[in-house]
Structure 1
Amino acid sequence: MDTTEVFSFIKDFGFPVVLSWFLLVRMEDRLAGLTEVIGELSCNIAAMRGDVAKK
């Protein structure tokens, strides 16, 4: 993405909207990975407690 495009987006949509969009796009993959790891962690905790049979 060219800097002129970025400035054009800021001019058209406003700085807060462009910043929020940029951060959301940048963090999307990290949030998906974090969600997966949290799911695995909860399964491991349940297995350690004996709530779920170990595989």
Structure 2
Amino acid sequence: MEENLQNLIANVGFPIALSMYLLVRIEGKLTKLTDSISELSKNIGAVSK
């Protein structure tokens, strides 16, 4: 039973950790992208007036 649990953690733990790391990194980039798009929309609105 312990061996099965250790294998499960070894096989599944790394992909879970990697996924969490990538999700955290992508979240920050998505936030910056959202802010940039909002600023661009404001600038386009100001130019078109």
Greater helix share, structure number: 2
Task: Provide structure 1 residue ranges, at least 5 long, that are not aligned to the other structure.
Answer: 1-8
CA deviation digits over 1:15-35, x for unaligned, max 9? 6x4333220112322221100
Q: Percent identity?
A: 10
Residue 26 of structure 2 is matched in structure 1 by 34
**Higher RCO (C-alpha under 8 Å, 6+ residues apart):** 1
Q: TM-score, normalised by structure 2?
A: 0.57
Task: Provide structure 2 residue ranges, at least 5 long, that are not aligned to the other structure.
Answer: 44-49
Select the residue among 2, 17, 34 that pairs with 1:25. 17
Q: What is the DSSP-based 3-state SS (H/G/I as helix, E as strand, rest coil) of the residue aligned with 1:50?
A: helix
1:44 lines up with 2:36 in the alignment: yes
Specify the structure having the higher radius of gyration (Cα).
Answer: 2
Q: TM-score, normalised by structure 1?
A: 0.53
Tell me, in whole angstroms, the C-alpha distance in 2 between the residues paired with 1:20 and 1:42. Answer: 32
